[in-house]
Structure 1
Amino acid sequence: MIRAVLLDLAGVVYDGDTPIPGAVPAVERLRKAGLPLRFVSNTTRSPRRAIIAQLAAMGIKVADEELLTPARTAVEWLRRHGRRPHLLVHSNLEAEFSGLEDGSGRAVVVGDAGEGFDYATLNQAFRELAAGADFLALATNRTFKDADGQLSLDAGAFVAALEFACGRSPVVLGKPSPDFFLAALAGLNCRAADAVMVGDDAESDVAGALSAGLGAALLVRTGKYRPGDETRFDPAPTALVDDLAAATDWVLKARRAETDSGDAL
């Protein structure tokens, strides 16, 4: 039985500051159906308050506990392990890590630093890692859809460069980490097998969710999707749909079928 829905944001709910057609009413339809929602974004450029305000301006009210980002899980990890962050992230995100200066050790935290990625900053992060700092990657996405509509390099390439140089793999805190999906479901009284993920990234959103044990993962043709993405990664999407409105149709139809089947027993 479908008991919860996880929604990616960029490329699924909106492109930039513009809602994707049909997305806002689709979110409302899911809420009216009584399905708990979690918005799970791999963005590492925008702070949580900005994301919530951006959604509110589009007509989507999101409570703090409904939004999960890699920065939030990173802060929890740093506090739990008593680490001070060495940040290689976008300047907009730095404030999310305030109040963590008293840790007993160091951890390099890599996100999408944008123009902040250069030899000096990468080499400084490498030297921290070489000195024994922990290695945290907020996400390992290969690409994102940029403001000009084209794909651009995401943080994954820079994480891979540091991994190659230091000879250590990072702790991945965002999608496709299974822990990230399971953290999103925490408190919902919902087994992973009873949740559906909707995303535009066949690797991080869809294959990641299915590998984490979610019952279904739908790939939309909006956002960063490119023809053929549905065949490039394993596990393959449960379904390929046009957009969030079509994904909502799929979810509600599947839920009705499950309910009807249960009534017939």
Structure 2
Amino acid sequence: MPQAVLLDISGVLYQDALPLPGSVAAVEALQSKGHPLRLVTNTSRLTAVEIHRQLTGMGYAITPEQIYSAPKAMRSYVQAQGLRPYWLIHRNLQEEFADLLEQAEPNAVVLGDAEERFDYAHLERAFHLLLAGAPLLAMGDNRYFHSRGALRLDAGPFVRALEYAAGVQALILGKPSKEFFAGALEELGVAASDALMIGDDVESDVFGAQQAGLLGCLVQTGKYRSGDEGKAPGALLAKDLAEAVQRFC
């Protein structure tokens, strides 16, 4: 049994603004068993405050401190390195970085899921900064996410486009980077070998967790596609969060 549990949010706890069947009770069960818990997400369209508001509105009894997001990891890194980024991020996320947005002479490019800001003008600006030597920092490289009944492009394809155009490699501060998982585990005070990661994204959630030393569990909800389990040998498999908690926690 794990000493701590990390849960992905979208596609595991909810889908299209509705909690997935049994997921609220599953989180309650984890809490009642005393498992230290972190909800870990690459979501870069919402602030942590908004994520917490939405989840509590769905019935999840969690605290803001239990949310560990890629934007939080990015903010810590940018401040620690003293960087002045060009922020190619979603308009909804600007509040989270309000005190860092106005930067003269940017010396880094920070990329999240910028949605409509992934246009030629913004990408061209980022491209020229990268050519001048600025590092490319990304909150995630997910290919897609599930919303409103369909798969939607995530930040990953745009990360790859800039990498290809500028001949650089992005530093990923969200999942599946080992540093991201290490940051969440540091907050919990638990070793990777004693933690379980439950997610619907076989690459970012499950295989990424395995590479960081955690046990991974893939749930067949959200962005899961038949055959995904073959991409993460040794991972646990459950039809949903409720089954994962019942069987493995």
Aligned-residue sequence identity (percent) comes to: 48
Deviation at 1:237, TM superposition (A): 5.0
Q: Which residue of 1 aligns with 2:21?
A: 21
Q: Which residue of 2 aligns with 1:250?
A: 247
TM superposition outliers: structure 1 runs of 4+ over 6 Å? none
* Equivalent residue runs for 1:219-238 within 5 Å: 219-231=218-230, 233=231, 235-236=232-233, 238=235
Task: Output the TM-score relative to the length of structure 1.
Answer: 0.90
Q: Does 1:3 align with 2:3?
A: yes
Cα distance in 1 for partners of 2:224, 2:204 equals 12
Q: What whole-Å deviation, never above 9, does each CA across 1:105-158 have from its counterpart, x for those lacking one?
A: 6211111111221111111111111122221011000111121x1212211000
CA contact (8 A) 1:200 1:219 kept: yes
CA contact (8 A) 1:2 1:196 kept: yes
Deviation at 1:61, TM superposition (A): 2.8
Cα distance in 1 for partners of 2:221, 2:114 equals 24
Q: Does 1:143 align with 2:140?
A: no
Q: What whole-Å deviation, never above 9, does each CA across 1:60-94 have from its counterpart, x for those lacking one?
A: 13222211111111111111111112111111011
Q: Does 1:206 align with 2:206?
A: yes
Deviation at 1:103, TM superposition (A): 8.5
Q: Does 1:69 align with 2:69?
A: yes
* Equivalent residue runs for 1:1-265 within 5 Å: 1-100=1-100, 101=102, 106-147=107-148, 149-214=149-214, 216-231=215-230, 233=231, 235-236=232-233, 238-252=235-249
Cα distance in 1 for partners of 2:163, 2:126 equals 11
SS at match of 1:219: strand
SS at match of 1:152: strand
Cα distance in 2 for partners of 1:60, 1:68 equals 16
CA contact (8 A) 2:199 2:206 kept: yes
Quickly say closer, same or farther: Cα 1:225–1:3, change in 2 above 3 A.
Answer: same
CA contact (8 A) 2:2 2:194 kept: yes
Cα distance in 2 for partners of 1:200, 1:143 equals 12
Cα distance in 2 for partners of 1:183, 1:123 equals 32
Deviation at 1:51, TM superposition (A): 0.1
Question: How many correspondences in the alignment?
Answer: 248
In the alignment, residue 79 of structure 1 is paired with which amino acid? Q
SS at match of 1:98: helix
Q: What whole-Å deviation, never above 9, does each CA across 1:223-255 have from its counterpart, x for those lacking one?
A: 011111111x2x425221110000101223xxx
Cα distance in 1 for partners of 2:221, 2:151 equals 13
Cα distance in 2 for partners of 1:42, 1:96 equals 14
In the alignment, residue 112 of structure 2 is paired with which amino acid? G
CA contact (8 A) 2:109 2:135 kept: yes
CA contact (8 A) 2:86 2:106 kept: no
**Which structure has the larger Rg?**
1
Q: What whole-Å deviation, never above 9, does each CA across 1:161-192 have from its counterpart, x for those lacking one?
A: 00011111111000000010111111323110
Cα distance in 1 for partners of 2:156, 2:234 equals 22
In the alignment, residue 249 of structure 1 is paired with which amino acid? Q
Greater alpha carbon shift after TM alignment, 73-82 vs 95-104: 95-104
Cα distance in 2 for partners of 1:77, 1:103 equals 19
Quickly say closer, same or farther: Cα 1:37–1:103, change in 2 above 3 A.
Answer: farther
Cα distance in 1 for partners of 2:105, 2:89 equals 21
Greater alpha carbon shift after TM alignment, 199-208 vs 90-99: 90-99
In the alignment, residue 245 of structure 1 is paired with which amino acid? A
Question: Which blocks of at least 5 consecutive residues in structure 2 are unaligned?
Answer: none
RMSD between superposed Cα atoms in Å: 1.5
SS at match of 1:83: coil
SS at match of 2:84: strand
